[in-house]
Amino acid sequence: MKFSGKFGALAVACSLLLWASSAQSQPKPKDEECLACHADPTLTTTDAKGKTVSLTVDADKMKQSIHGGMFSCVDCHKDVKSSPHANTPAKITCAQCHAEAQAAYRHSYHATAKKPDGTPAATCVDCHGDAHTVLPAADAKSPVNHSNIPATCGTCHGQKFLMQSTGGSSQVFVAYQDSVHGHAIKNGSQTAAVCTDCHGSHQILAANDAKSPINKFNIPATCGKCHGDVQSVFQQSIHGQAIALGNGLAPVCTDCHGIHTIKAPSDPSSSVSDQNLSATTCARCHQGVRLTQEFDVAGNRVSTYMDSYHGLASQGGSVVVANCASCHGVHNILPSSDPRSTINPANLDATCGQCHKGVTQNFTRYKVHVDVEGGRTLDSGTRAVRWIRWFYLPLILLVIGGMLLHNAILWRAKAMARRRAMGPSVQRMTPNQRWQHLILLTSFFVLVVTGFALKYPDSSFAVILGLGERWRSILHRVAGVLLIADGLYHVFYIAFTSDGRKLVRDLLPNLKDATDAWGTMLFYLGLRSQKPKFGRFSYAEKAEYWALVWGTALMAVTGIMLWAKITVGNQLARWWVDAATAVHFYEAILATLAILVWHFYQVFFDPDVYPMNWAWRDGKMSVEHYKEEHELDTETLAEVDVRSDATDANDIVAKPEERPPHE
């Protein structure tokens, strides 16, 4: 049937009204009808990415949730008109009811930052839980309950790789757990700060956002929500006034106490503990020259403190000696010109009197931070110390230098006299071997000084050297090349000369060396009556020689790797360079200590060779001492006996051209 004209239009209108009326009269599905299907644990669907999604709703949890007592299913799922329904309902957004929270979230870091899959870093359900089981914040089981906030945030912020993928770090969560706030929450505190107290809840913003509660200029107000009394004092301090004026270099709460690592002042690891306050926390700003250049704030305050009795005692472990806060205050730090300042001249008697009872203005009117090196203002005390310093430094150099020269002259004369009275001698080292030893000795000590000067730029090594990095590096490399060349020549020497081949044969270790080492210890401990007898080289000399060979080769290889680090890093994995650096450093320590402890004992500190074993200089050793130390070297001793019959007793082995000039 067709309708036309006015009657047709009227018929269509009536049909629409009848349909609408019937639709409105159709009752909405009740929760029981919805749960008839959605209580089935096997009910699932597939999302747009092909992932299986459960459609099951726990009726009991739904009733216990904050939504269960306020809404029915269709209050949120408004497009569901019947049960069962043919079409998949539209995805529900919390903004339908929570428009204000949604507006705040939309501009937050969680909404703008993305996970690796492109979804927002965190959504409503990540924090509050599933919409069907949302509990009020007052409920102890709610993930947004005050006590549960750290754990809720930790589900994301405690995952290392997830945080790295978004440019963050999981360390902040670990640090908070170990902080004074984290421990308080674990112990049941309902007032200690949690993540949302500082960062906010829905509108979490980056620290560089001026509206963020963790923006540097907002930190005092954020911390003041709990520490209001401290905030009011801080705002009046010189630091608080500087922040109020927009000075970003001035410190706020987190600069001194830390951010997530805040610990109690009594904790030795706290940045504001007595042990760390001066040397670490205050030093960040007041030791350098940046504040001096920008704001005319005096620098070198920490170094001058450390040079004082207070600083020295603090470094020695005292926990009662005055530190920065003892004199300047904690949150109420003010310039000395302010009458309220604890270091104002009118208040110094009381400030110093906390420890020094009976102190008067005559004692307190002089500077505490005496900067002899670079002080800008010279008070009487600074002038006096500087003059005394200028007097004593040259005096010390002159007097001690004269003493050293005096004793060196006497020592040389007496040592040479003992050397001439040594009696018959035997050749211990040939001129060739002595030259090798001299080059080794020189290059080794140059390498030690120049190498440790780089590792420890403030040490005596650097002071002794007195060179810049350019010349230090050149000298180190020259010494390294010289050492390697000496080592290569030694390889040639032992391979192609009869003396060299015999040297290696005599230095080869054997089982007797082990028994000799044990027997020597027993003899000198008084547990054996006879000392072991040695050949041309004892176990100690053999051990030192082969340790030298190994150490020289290792230092040469790692040194070349570091010199050519770009080539090595391009050809091998980058960690090879790091490994070479570590080996080079620790082998250098081992070699240096071995020389000082082992070799120097045999050359200088062994009472039998005092004042030294002269073989390194002229290659000779007394026959008497040689017989005592190397009794089994019958070949050398036989030559001594043969020559003693044909030559003067003082000329047994040494040829005339090999004698030192004084002989």
pLDDT tens-place string over residues 65-99: 888 777 788 888 888 888 788 777 888 888 888 88
pLDDT (tens digit per residue) in 305-356: 888 888 888 888 888 888 999 999 999 999 989 999 999 988 988 898 898 8
Q: What's the mean pLDDT in 528-538?
A: 93
Range of 32-46, 60-74, 395-409, 619-633 with top mean pLDDT: 395-409
Instruction: Spell out the SS3 assignment of 338-363.
Output: CCCCCCCCCCHHHHHHCCCCCCCHHH
pLDDT at 641: 62
Q: 642 pLDDT exceeds 80?
A: no
56-70, 364-378, 480-494: which range is least confident on average?
364-378
Maximum mean pLDDT: which of 22-36, 377-391, 552-566: 552-566
Residue 23: what pLDDT? 46
Q: Does pLDDT of 252 surpass 50?
A: yes
* Per-residue pLDDT reduced to its tens digit, 124-175: 988 998 878 888 888 899 999 999 999 999 999 988 888 887 778 889 999 9
Query: Tokens in use for 558?
Result: 């790692």
Could you read off the pLDDT of 467-513 as tens digits, one per residue? 788 888 999 999 999 999 999 999 999 999 999 999 999 999 999 99
pLDDT at 658 over 50: no
pLDDT of res. 253: 95
- How would DSSP label each residue in 580-603? HHHHHHHHHHHHHHHIIIIIHIII
Confidence of residue 600 (pLDDT cuts 50, 70, 90): very high
Say which residue, 448 or 574, is predicted with more confidence.
448
Q: Where are the domains of the chain?
A: 29-85, 98-214, 423-658
Arithmetic mean of pLDDT over the chain: 85
The stretch 433-459 carries a mean pLDDT of: 92
Higher per-residue pLDDT: 43 or 650:
43
| pLDDT of res. 612 | 87
- CATH code assigned to 423-658: 1.20.950.20
Would you say 143 and 128 are in contact if contact means Cβ atoms under 8 Å apart? yes
Share of the chain above pLDDT 90, in %: 45
* Residues whose CB is less than 8 angstroms from the CB of residue 81 and which lie 6 or more positions away in sequence, other chains included: 23, 26, 28, 29
For the chain, give the percent of residues with pLDDT over 70: 91
Please tell me what DSSP assigns to residue 273.
Answer: S
Look at residue 649 and give its three-state secondary structure.
Answer: helix
For residue 404, what are the contacts with CB-CB under 8 A and spacing of at least 6? none
* Amino acid symbol at 301: R
Q: 5-9, 114-118, 285-289, 461-465 — which one is most confidently predicted on average?
A: 285-289
Q: Is it the case that residue 46 has pLDDT exceeding 90?
A: no
Q: Does the pLDDT value for residue 616 go beyond 50? A: yes
288, 300 in Cβ contact below 8 A?
no
Tokens 């929570």 map to which residue? 98
pLDDT greater than 90 at residue 443 = yes
Contacts for 515 with CB less than 8 Å, ≥ 6 apart: 532
Three-class HEC string of 405-439 = HHHHHHHHHHHHHHHHCCCCEEECCCHHHHHHHHH
- Amino acid 659: pLDDT: 39
Residue 11 has pLDDT above 60, yes or no: no
Q: Find residue 321's DSSP bridge partners.
A: none
Backbone angles phi, psi at 43, to 5 degrees: -75, 120
Predicted local confidence at residue 651, as pLDDT: 45
pLDDT of residue 547: 95
Question: Residue 278 corresponds to which tokens in the numbers above?
Answer: 């001066």
Phi, psi of 396 (to 5 degrees): -65, -45
- The answer to whether residues 203 and 105 touch, using CB atoms and an 8 Å cutoff, is yes
User: What is the rounded distance in angstroms from the CA atom of residue 72 to the CA atom of residue 308?
Assistant: 75
Q: How confident is the model at residue 424 (pLDDT cuts 50, 70, 90)?
A: confident
Q: What pLDDT is stored for residue 643 in this prediction?
A: 62
**What pLDDT is recorded for position 43?**
78
Question: 650 pLDDT band (50/70/90 cuts)?
Answer: very low
Confidence label for 379 from pLDDT (cuts 50, 70 and 90): low
Count of CB atoms situated within 10 Å of the CB of 63: 12
41: which DSSP letter?
T
Q: Which residues of 277-295 are buried (b: 16+ CB within 10 A; e: fewer)?
A: bbbebbbebbbeeebeeee
Task: Give me the mean pLDDT over the 540-565 stretch.
Answer: 95
Q: Is 453 helix (H, G, I), strand (E, B) or coil?
A: helix
Q: Provide the pLDDT for residue 644.
A: 56
Q: Looking at the predicted structure, is the pLDDT value of residue 13 above 50?
A: no
Say which residue, 391 or 460, is predicted with more confidence.
391
In this prediction, residue 4 has a pLDDT band, given cuts at 50, 70 and 90, of very low
